[in-house]
Chain A
Amino acid sequence: MAPLDNAKPAATPEEDGTAAPAAGRFLKAIYVYEVPVRVWHWVNALAITVLSVTGYLIANPLPAMPGEASANFLMGYIRFVHFTAAYIFAIGFIGRLYWAFAGNHHARQLFRFPFWDRHWWGELFLEARWYLFLERKPKLYVGHNPLAQFAMFWAIAVGSVFMIVTGFALYSEGTGQGSWQDKLFGWVIPLFGQSMDVHTWHHLGMWAILLFVIVHVYAAVREDIMSRQSIISTMISGVRTFKDAEAPADEEHERPVKKAARAG
C-alpha cells in the first residue's frame, strides 16, 4: 500500500481535501469513504458471494449424499448459510441506508439517481465514450463517476431492495403464515403470480447483481491502472488520491472548507 503512505499525511479527515504538497506521485488526496461505508462494502461483497453460491446450489443441488437421511443435513446447512448471509445482507443494507443520512455526501451517492440533471447525463455519456475508447481522457471524480453511480444505483440500491423483498417473501413460505416475514413480505407472492414466479425472479435478480459485480470488479481494476485517480485502495483506506493536478469534475461539491482554505 505504498500510495497510502504517500497520501496519508495530506489526507486526514480534518483537512479534507486541502491540496497536498506535490511530494510523491499524488498531488492531492481527499477522504471520501468513511469507515461504515468501507466496512459495509466488504461485508456486502462477502454476503453477495455467499448468497450467490448457496442460492445457486439451492436451485441446483449437489449430487445425492449417501447414507441415511438422519445422518445428513447438507441441503439444510446450505439453506441455513443462505438465510444467515441474507440476514447479514439485509441488516447491512439498512445500516448503509442509515449512513446515507448520517454520513458524508459521498455516502448518499449510492441511493441517488439524478434523473433530471442534464449535466449529470452529459458526464455519464462522456464517461461511456471513454469506455468505448472515444475519449482520450476521463474526467476526474472525487466520488463515483456518473456511469458508475448509474450502475450502482440500479444494481445495488434497487437490486438489493428487490432481492431482500423477494428473498424474505420466499423465506416467509417456510416460517409460515402469521410470521413477521409473512406479514411484511407475504403480499409479494400473489403480486408475482405464485411462488414459482418469485423463485424465477429472485434467480434473475442474482444474475443481474452478478453481472454488475463482474463489470464492477473489472472497471475498478482497470480504473485503478488507467484512470487518473485511485479506486481500489480508496475502498480500503477511504482516501482518494489523484495522479495529476487537474481539479476533479465534482470538486465543487467538496466542503466549502477547501475554498475558504484556498482563499485564506
Chain B
Amino acid sequence: MATLETFYEVMRRQGITRRSFLKYCSLTAAALGLGPELVPQIVHAMETKPRTPVLWLHGLECTCCSESFIRSAHPLVKDVVLSMISLDYDDTLMASAGHHAEAILDEVMEKYKGNYILAVEGNPPLNQDGMSCIIGGKPFTDQLRKVAKDAKAIISWGSCASFGCVQAARPNPTRATPVHEVITDKPIIKVPGCPPIAEVMTGVITYMLTFDRIPELDRQGRPKMFYSQRIHDKCYRRPHFDAGQFVESFDDEGARKGYCLYKVGCKGPTTYNACSTVRWNEGTSFPIQSGHGCIGCSEDGFWDKGSWYARQSDILQFGIEANADQIGTTAAIGVGSIIAAHAAVSALKRAQHKGDV
C-alpha cells in the first residue's frame, strides 16, 4: 500500500523540477478554468496535502471509461495515477489480483475510513439478486454498498454509473441501476459520457484533490465546469445552424461543406458536455468534427431517445416508432375527418328541420 507522501514530494522523487511543477500547477489551473490568482493555492495544496486514496470499482460496464481515462493528456494520466492520487484499487489497472487485490479494499476502508474517494465505473444490476454482475464471488451491489459506506465522496464515472446507459436501456432485464439510486447518503459527482472525456475525468479528480471539496454541481449532479453548456452552444458548426444550412443526408453537398448535422439527428442541442471545447485525444477532434452527429451519450437514457439519425425522438408507447409530428399529424387528420363528417350531418339535419329553431 502506498505511503502517503504529498503530491509535491512524489513529483520531486520522480525527478520533476520545481520549475516544471509550477508550470504543471499553472496548466492545471487553466484546464480547470481558474484564474492565475488561484495557482499559488494549487501549489500550496500539492506541497502540503497527502495523496488521497481512491478506490475504483467496476460494475456492469465496458471499461470504456478506463480506456478514456488512461488517454488523458492534460494532466497526463501518469501524473494523476502516480503523483496525485493513490489509486489503491482498480481491478483493471492494478497488478495484483484475486484475494490479494480484494484484501486491499478492506485495508484502505479501515485505515482511511471516511477519507477515501470511491470511483464507480458501471452500475449494479438489482434483479436476480444482483447475480448479473459478480465480483470476487459476490454480487457487485454488495461490494458497492460496502465500500460506499465509509467513502468521503463518490464519483460516478460515465453514463453507466450516472444514468444507467445501455444496460439500463429498455427493457432493462437486469434492472441495471445508476449509483445515486442505490447509494443515497453520500455526495455523488456524476461524470456522464460514454465514455467521459479523459481530461474531464482527470480534471474532476484534480479539482477534488486540490481544493479538498467536490466541484460545484448542476441540478443533475454534474460538475458545472464541464457540463454547464451544450455541445451546440460551442459547436464550430453553429453558424450553419443559425444560417439554416443543414446536411440533408450523409455524403450530400451540405455534408461535404461541413453544414450543421441537426437534420440528420445531431443531439448537440440537447447534450451537456465539453466535447466541442475540450474535444478528444488531446484536442484532436470530436464526433461532429468527423462529420457524424452527436448521439447525446452523456444524457440520461440516451439509448431510448433515438433515432440518432432523426431530429425528433421516436415515441414507442404506440407499439410502432413514431415521432411527435407524425402522431400530431395523424390526430389532426383524424379530427379533421370527424369534423367534416359532423359538418355534413349537421347540414343535413338543418335541412330536415328548417325553420324549427
Residues of A with Cβ closer than 8 Å to B?
56, 59-65, 68-76, 78, 131, 133, 136-137, 173-174, 176-177, 186-187, 189-190, 193-197, 199-200, 203-204, 206-207, 210-211, 214-215, 218, 222, 225-226, 228, 243-244
Contacts and interface: CB of A to CB of B under 8 A. Distances in A.
5 contacts: A64-B254, A69-B243, A193-B300, A194-B302, A203-B325
A206 B328 contact: yes
Contact of B339 (A173, A200, A215): A215
A162 to B, nearest CB: 14
B311 A73 contact: no
A134 to B, nearest CB: 11
A207 B270 contact: no
Given A78-B244, A190-B219, 9 more contacts: A60-B311, A71-B243, A75-B241, A177-B218, A194-B302, A195-B270, A199-B313, A200-B323, A214-B339
Secondary structure call for the A interface: helix
Interface string B258-277: 01001100010111000000
Contact of A228 (B219, B233, B239, B357): B357
The 8 closest A-B pairs by CB, nearest first: A207-B328, A74-B244, A72-B243, A203-B324, A195-B270, A69-B239, A75-B244, A76-B242
A190 B180 CA distance: 14
Contacts of B332: 207, 210-211, 214
B242 A173 contact: no
Contacts of B51: none
B243 A200 contact: no
B76 interface: no
B350 interface: yes
B315 A211 contact: no
Contact of B331 (A70, A133, A187, A211): A211
B239 to A, nearest CB: 4
Contacts of B324: 59, 200, 203-204, 207
Contacts of A226: 346, 350, 357
B342 interface: yes
A218 B339 contact: yes
Contacts of B228: 176-177
Contacts of A71: 243
Interface string B296-329: 1001111001000001110100000001110110
B241 A63 contact: no
Contacts of A194: 270, 296, 299-302, 305
